[in-house]
Amino acid sequence: MSIFKPSRLALAALLSGSTLALMACGPVIPRGDIESAKKAMDLAVECKTDEAVAASQRASQSGGLGGALGDAERVVILREAGRNSQADAARAAYLSKAGASAAAELDKSTAQGVEQIRVDRAKRSGKRSC
């Protein structure tokens, strides 16, 4: 299963700028815990927000691509769940890291990610919201 299925396309686009910059600096980008990043979005679709946040944190701590995905996904997961103060804090933390994308890019990708979670949820359960 590719990490770049539709629910991750917006996040992949968001990360592409920082990823390309890292590629120019060295031969290999560490993968990090990509599986936890994938699991985080699946849990969000299943309305398991706390578990999704925990999975995104595991991915974040792994560093590499999985870490970057985890950081960005946490913003999406929290925003979709309506936890706006936590989402704002996660957004600020993401943007404070070296190589983070511009705020406008993150906000656009977050909106696309929220919509994709809702589309995926509707396909699975027939409901867009939890």
Residues 53-85 pLDDT 10s: 999 999 999 888 888 889 999 999 999 999 999
| Better-scored residue on pLDDT, 34 or 81 | 81
Q: In terms of Cα–Cα distance, which of 83, 107, 81, 84 is closest to 94?
A: 107
Check residue 117 and give its pLDDT. Answer: 97
How many angstroms separate the CA atoms of 19 and 75, rounded?
19
Task: Answer whether residue 11 shows pLDDT above 70.
Answer: no
Cite the DSSP H helix spans in 46-83: 49-62, 64-80
Q: Directed axis angle between helix 64-80 and helix 84-96, to 10°?
A: 150
How many angstroms separate the CA atoms of 54 and 128, rounded?
22
Q: In terms of Cα–Cα distance, which of 69, 73, 68 is closest to 53?
A: 73
Check residue 102 and give its pLDDT. Answer: 73
